[in-house]
Amino acid sequence: MAPSGYTIRLQKGIRGGFAPPTPTAILSLAKDADNSYISIYESIRPDGGSGLEDKPERTVDSSDEVEGLVTELYEILQDLPLESPPGSEDIYGKDISISWSSDDFAWCNGGQQGCVGGDSDVHS
């Protein structure tokens, strides 16, 4: 079962190189252990736009169905490999980063600043 408090961050656009990656979308879900709802933060780059535009914050109730999906993600991530060194390569080839943070577990593919175009010692 997933912890009662967590943060999940999804980012589309993690590949970089000489220049840093240019994300096209960032979605963050945050649940405090004391709350029964999940806060959703979304930033999207419009077609042809030069920057991400923040959407209004939303909240959803943390239903059994939602918590079931969150628990499934939590369990899957614990078995997935990460690139080494962090941020060296998009080992999954999807140009997407998933970041999980809770009191008992942290996982992030693609590094905090995206992938810089190096070679990873680990591959999926």
Query: Could you give the C-alpha distances from 12 to 1, 21, 67, 97, in angstroms and in order?
Result: 27, 10, 23, 7
Return left, alpha or beta for 95; rule: phi > 0 is left, psi -120 to 50 is alpha, else beta: left
Average pLDDT over residues 58-87: 91
How does residue 112 score in pLDDT terms, banded at 50, 70 and 90?
low
* pLDDT tens, residue by residue, 7-46: 999 999 988 777 788 899 999 999 999 999 999 999 999 9
- End-to-end alpha carbon distance in the chain: 25
**9 membership: H or E segment, kind and range:** strand 6-12
